[in-house]
Amino acid sequence: MTITAIVYRQQFEQRQDPVVNLSQLRLHPREKFFWWRIFGGILPTHEWLSSRHLPPPNPACPWGCSEPEDINHVTSECSFLLDILSALSNWGFFVPRFRSFAEVKLAIATVRKKKGAGLQLYCYAVYQAWRSRNAKKHGRPFGSPTVLAAAILATCKSHSFSSSPEHWGTIQPSWLSSPNSWYPPLWAG
Protein backbone atom coordinates (compact mmCIF):
# COMPACT_ATOMS: atom_id res chain seq x y z
CA MET A 1 0.00 0.00 0.00
CA THR A 2 1.36 3.42 -0.95
CA ILE A 3 1.84 6.25 1.53
CA THR A 4 -0.97 8.14 -0.16
CA ALA A 5 -3.28 5.18 0.18
CA ILE A 6 -2.39 4.77 3.86
CA VAL A 7 -3.03 8.46 4.59
CA TYR A 8 -6.27 8.38 2.63
CA ARG A 9 -7.38 5.28 4.48
CA GLN A 10 -6.59 6.81 7.88
CA GLN A 11 -8.45 9.99 7.02
CA PHE A 12 -11.37 8.01 5.75
CA GLU A 13 -11.44 5.88 8.87
CA GLN A 14 -11.31 8.92 11.13
CA ARG A 15 -14.36 10.32 9.42
CA GLN A 16 -16.39 7.24 10.25
CA ASP A 17 -19.38 7.97 12.41
CA PRO A 18 -18.84 6.36 15.85
CA VAL A 19 -22.58 5.94 16.27
CA VAL A 20 -22.82 3.95 13.06
CA ASN A 21 -19.71 2.02 13.95
CA LEU A 22 -21.14 0.92 17.32
CA SER A 23 -22.61 -2.05 15.48
CA GLN A 24 -19.08 -3.38 14.92
CA LEU A 25 -18.79 -3.94 18.68
CA ARG A 26 -21.93 -6.05 18.87
CA LEU A 27 -23.00 -4.53 22.15
CA HIS A 28 -26.07 -5.67 24.03
CA PRO A 29 -29.01 -3.34 23.21
CA ARG A 30 -29.03 -1.53 26.55
CA GLU A 31 -25.28 -0.84 26.38
CA LYS A 32 -25.61 0.25 22.75
CA PHE A 33 -28.36 2.68 23.72
CA PHE A 34 -26.18 3.99 26.56
CA TRP A 35 -23.34 4.76 24.10
CA TRP A 36 -25.80 6.27 21.70
CA ARG A 37 -26.76 8.73 24.48
CA ILE A 38 -23.09 9.51 25.06
CA PHE A 39 -22.46 10.27 21.39
CA GLY A 40 -25.69 12.23 21.27
CA GLY A 41 -24.44 14.45 24.09
CA ILE A 42 -27.38 13.69 26.35
CA LEU A 43 -25.84 11.70 29.20
CA PRO A 44 -26.82 13.68 32.32
CA THR A 45 -23.42 14.06 33.98
CA HIS A 46 -23.05 16.74 36.64
CA GLU A 47 -21.39 19.00 34.09
CA TRP A 48 -24.26 18.40 31.64
CA LEU A 49 -26.84 19.32 34.30
CA SER A 50 -24.91 22.44 35.32
CA SER A 51 -24.73 23.63 31.71
CA ARG A 52 -28.53 23.42 31.61
CA HIS A 53 -29.01 25.40 34.81
CA LEU A 54 -29.78 22.28 36.80
CA PRO A 55 -26.67 22.22 38.98
CA PRO A 56 -26.38 19.21 41.28
CA PRO A 57 -25.72 19.91 44.98
CA ASN A 58 -22.18 18.61 44.53
CA PRO A 59 -20.63 18.82 41.03
CA ALA A 60 -17.79 16.44 41.90
CA CYS A 61 -17.78 12.81 40.84
CA PRO A 62 -19.92 10.68 43.20
CA TRP A 63 -16.99 8.27 43.58
CA GLY A 64 -14.92 10.91 45.35
CA CYS A 65 -12.52 11.57 42.48
CA SER A 66 -12.34 15.29 43.40
CA GLU A 67 -12.87 16.21 39.77
CA PRO A 68 -15.86 17.65 37.94
CA GLU A 69 -17.98 14.93 36.47
CA ASP A 70 -18.02 15.52 32.73
CA ILE A 71 -18.03 13.18 29.74
CA ASN A 72 -14.24 12.86 29.74
CA HIS A 73 -14.32 11.80 33.35
CA VAL A 74 -17.14 9.29 32.91
CA THR A 75 -15.68 7.64 29.79
CA SER A 76 -11.95 7.60 30.56
CA GLU A 77 -10.79 9.04 33.88
CA CYS A 78 -13.07 7.98 36.73
CA SER A 79 -11.35 5.97 39.43
CA PHE A 80 -14.30 3.57 39.68
CA LEU A 81 -14.10 2.84 35.94
CA LEU A 82 -10.34 2.37 36.19
CA ASP A 83 -10.83 -0.11 39.03
CA ILE A 84 -13.17 -2.20 36.86
CA LEU A 85 -10.66 -2.10 33.99
CA SER A 86 -7.87 -3.10 36.38
CA ALA A 87 -9.89 -6.10 37.57
CA LEU A 88 -10.29 -7.24 33.95
CA SER A 89 -6.59 -6.66 33.25
CA ASN A 90 -5.56 -8.55 36.39
CA TRP A 91 -7.47 -11.58 35.12
CA GLY A 92 -5.46 -11.42 31.89
CA PHE A 93 -7.91 -9.71 29.58
CA PHE A 94 -6.65 -7.00 27.29
CA VAL A 95 -8.58 -3.80 27.78
CA PRO A 96 -7.50 -0.53 26.15
CA ARG A 97 -7.03 2.67 28.13
CA PHE A 98 -7.79 6.19 26.97
CA ARG A 99 -6.92 9.68 28.16
CA SER A 100 -10.08 11.40 26.97
CA PHE A 101 -13.49 10.91 25.45
CA ALA A 102 -12.05 12.03 22.11
CA GLU A 103 -9.71 9.04 22.14
CA VAL A 104 -12.54 6.66 23.01
CA LYS A 105 -14.65 8.11 20.24
CA LEU A 106 -11.86 7.71 17.70
CA ALA A 107 -11.26 4.11 18.76
CA ILE A 108 -14.93 3.25 18.28
CA ALA A 109 -15.08 5.14 14.99
CA THR A 110 -12.20 3.14 13.57
CA VAL A 111 -12.76 -0.31 15.08
CA ARG A 112 -13.16 -3.13 12.61
CA LYS A 113 -15.55 -6.03 12.80
CA LYS A 114 -14.22 -8.94 14.90
CA LYS A 115 -11.28 -6.78 16.03
CA GLY A 116 -12.85 -4.97 18.93
CA ALA A 117 -13.03 -7.50 21.74
CA GLY A 118 -11.02 -5.34 24.16
CA LEU A 119 -12.91 -2.23 23.15
CA GLN A 120 -16.16 -4.08 23.69
CA LEU A 121 -15.12 -4.89 27.26
CA TYR A 122 -14.23 -1.22 27.71
CA CYS A 123 -17.67 -0.09 26.53
CA TYR A 124 -19.36 -2.51 28.91
CA ALA A 125 -17.16 -1.25 31.78
CA VAL A 126 -18.14 2.38 31.19
CA TYR A 127 -21.79 1.36 31.18
CA GLN A 128 -21.48 -0.62 34.40
CA ALA A 129 -19.63 2.24 36.11
CA TRP A 130 -22.39 4.67 35.12
CA ARG A 131 -25.12 2.27 36.23
CA SER A 132 -23.45 1.85 39.61
CA ARG A 133 -22.94 5.59 39.87
CA ASN A 134 -26.69 6.08 39.47
CA ALA A 135 -27.36 3.41 42.09
CA LYS A 136 -24.96 5.10 44.51
CA LYS A 137 -26.55 8.50 43.97
CA HIS A 138 -30.00 7.12 44.66
CA GLY A 139 -29.00 5.03 47.67
CA ARG A 140 -29.38 1.70 45.95
CA PRO A 141 -26.92 -1.20 46.29
CA PHE A 142 -24.22 -1.63 43.67
CA GLY A 143 -21.43 -4.10 43.02
CA SER A 144 -17.74 -3.69 43.68
CA PRO A 145 -15.45 -3.20 40.65
CA THR A 146 -14.53 -6.89 40.86
CA VAL A 147 -18.15 -8.01 40.86
CA LEU A 148 -18.91 -5.71 37.93
CA ALA A 149 -15.90 -6.99 35.98
CA ALA A 150 -17.19 -10.54 36.45
CA ALA A 151 -20.66 -9.47 35.32
CA ILE A 152 -19.16 -7.89 32.19
CA LEU A 153 -17.36 -11.09 31.27
CA ALA A 154 -20.51 -13.12 31.85
CA THR A 155 -22.44 -10.76 29.57
CA CYS A 156 -19.80 -10.96 26.83
CA LYS A 157 -19.64 -14.71 27.05
CA SER A 158 -23.39 -15.19 26.84
CA HIS A 159 -24.02 -12.58 24.19
CA SER A 160 -21.23 -11.79 21.77
CA PHE A 161 -19.04 -14.83 21.86
CA SER A 162 -21.49 -17.66 22.21
CA SER A 163 -21.54 -18.30 18.47
CA SER A 164 -17.84 -17.81 17.84
CA PRO A 165 -15.64 -19.34 20.52
CA GLU A 166 -12.54 -18.79 18.39
CA HIS A 167 -13.18 -15.05 18.73
CA TRP A 168 -13.55 -15.41 22.49
CA GLY A 169 -10.05 -16.80 22.50
CA THR A 170 -8.65 -13.49 21.24
CA ILE A 171 -9.33 -11.87 24.61
CA GLN A 172 -9.16 -14.97 26.76
CA PRO A 173 -6.19 -15.39 29.08
CA SER A 174 -3.74 -18.10 28.08
CA TRP A 175 -4.48 -20.08 31.23
CA LEU A 176 -8.00 -20.74 30.08
CA SER A 177 -8.21 -23.75 27.86
CA SER A 178 -11.88 -23.85 26.96
CA PRO A 179 -14.54 -21.13 26.70
CA ASN A 180 -17.06 -23.68 27.95
CA SER A 181 -15.23 -24.50 31.15
CA TRP A 182 -14.43 -21.03 32.36
CA TYR A 183 -16.15 -18.90 34.94
CA PRO A 184 -15.11 -15.52 36.37
CA PRO A 185 -12.95 -15.89 39.51
CA LEU A 186 -15.84 -14.61 41.62
CA TRP A 187 -17.79 -17.75 40.95
CA ALA A 188 -14.97 -20.26 40.80
CA GLY A 189 -15.35 -23.17 43.15
Contact positions toward Zn ion, by CB under 5 A? 61, 63, 65, 78
DSSP 79-118: HHHHHHHHHHHHTT------SSHHHHHHHHHH--TT--HH
Least separation in angstroms between CB 154 and Zn ion:
24
What SS3 class is residue 171? coil
Nearest-approach distance from CB 41 to Zn ion, in angstroms: 19
> Please, which residue, 78 or 119, has the CB nearer to Zn ion?
78
**Burial of 57 by CB count in 10 Å (0-12 exposed, 13-18 middle, 19+ buried)?**
exposed
Q: Which is nearer to Zn ion, 26 or 133 (CB)?
A: 133
Least Cβ distance, residue 153 to Zn ion (angstroms): 23
Helix axes 3-14, 101-110, angle to 10 degrees: 120
- Residue 38 vs 117, nearer CB to Zn ion: 38
Taken in order 28, 29, 30, 34, the sign of the CA dihedral is positive
Nearer to Zn ion, 149 or 156 (CB): 149
Contact 132, 142 (CB under 8 A): yes
Which of 109, 125 has the CB closer to Zn ion?
Answer: 125
Which CB, 61 or 84, lies closer to Zn ion? 61
Min. distance of Cβ 69 from Zn ion in angstroms? 7
* Least CB distance to Zn ion at residue 91 (A): 22
Among 46, 33, 36, 34, CA closest to 72 = 46
Q: Nearest distance from residue 138's CB to Zn ion, in Å?
A: 17
Question: What does the DSSP assignment read for 112-138?
Answer: -TT--HHHHHHHHHHHHHHHHHHHHHT
